[in-house]
């Protein structure tokens, strides 16, 4: 069989940067905590935990002092930095530059007393950090149907979580404007992530079978898997090489392997090697 790994799949810049920072810090052989999973991929989290990275939640952070804590690519709200100063915690800040730029823009809008609306996933780590820039006063919505459009302010400032769909974002803009709302639009979507769906549509069409590799916790993974499945019904979702089944393939098949922005290249390579044993 011919098995090809998608050259555009795998870590986005922000995740790659965070993992490199974690690995560099762990070379010092000192304890390193990470606030939340560094990436939504169980296999990568397991690999890094075996190297010494300890994942903690916000409650556990409250109990720590005199230690090092990694801030992952999603970024954090201001109160995390305030707590770190109070508890003498050294923050290893791996916040994605795209996310930091967005946080600053939202903070500036909040200081100007704008009516801030954020298109994003409720409870997502990045969104928590964005909300923190507004003292949790901004309105977050996952779908336009959540908004009571007739009662919205006549002037709003609109932002988006960096990983949302650009098409959907501009569709929301259009609906709001059609309803007489003046929208100060801030397109802060990361193109490295948002363009993945277009690239994957082209990739999925080229092969007899597609194996999509992603962690089950990855929102990005679920979306991109469905993109592949839509273009190629012979698409299979796996989180690791052991989940691959030989009866998915027949001799002579062309197989494409791709993944989410949280899927490491080494994991896709393991999947490729497994398929080549059939």
Please list the active-site residues.
126
Rounded CA-CA distance 134/111 in Å is: 8
Compute CA distances 27 → 20, 54, 112, whole Å.
11, 14, 44
CA–CA distance, 21 with 97 (Å, rounded to integer): 14
Q: Are 117 and 141 in contact (CB under 8 A)?
A: yes
């Amino acid at each position: 069989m011919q098995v090809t790994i998608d050259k555009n799949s795998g870590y986005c810049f922000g995740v790659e940067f965070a993992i490199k920072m974690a690995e560099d810090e762990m070379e010092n052989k000192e304890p390193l905590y990470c606030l939340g999973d560094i990436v939504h991929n169980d296999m990568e989290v397991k690999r890094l935990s075996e190297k010494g990275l300890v994942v903690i939640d916000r409650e556990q952070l409250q109990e720590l002092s005199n230690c090092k804590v990694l801030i992952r690519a999603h970024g954090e709200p201001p109160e995390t930095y305030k707590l770190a100063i109070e508890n003498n915690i050294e923050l290893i800040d791996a916040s994605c530059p795209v996310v930091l730029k967005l946080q600053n823009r939202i903070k500036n809008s909040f200081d100007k007393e704008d009516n801030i609306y954020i298109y994003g996933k409720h409870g997502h780590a990045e969104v928590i950090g964005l909300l923190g820039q507004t003292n949790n006063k901004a309105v977050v919505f996952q779908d336009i149907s959540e908004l009571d459009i007739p009662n919205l302010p006549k002037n709003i400032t609109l932002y988006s979580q960096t990983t949302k769909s650009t098409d959907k974002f501009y569709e929301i803009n259009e609906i709001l404007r059609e309803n007489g709302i003046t929208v100060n639009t801030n397109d802060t979507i990361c193109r490295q992530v948002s363009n993945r769906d277009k690239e994957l549509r082209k990739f999925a069409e080229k092969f007899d079978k597609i194996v999509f590799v992603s962690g089950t916790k990855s929102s990005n993974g679920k979306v991109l898997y469905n993109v592949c499945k839509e273009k190629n019904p012979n698409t299979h979702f796996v989180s690791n090489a052991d989940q691959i089944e030989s009866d998915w393939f027949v001799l002579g098949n062309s197989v494409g392997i791709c993944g989410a922005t949280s899927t490491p290249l080494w994991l896709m390579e393991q999947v490729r090697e497994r398929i080549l044993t059939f």
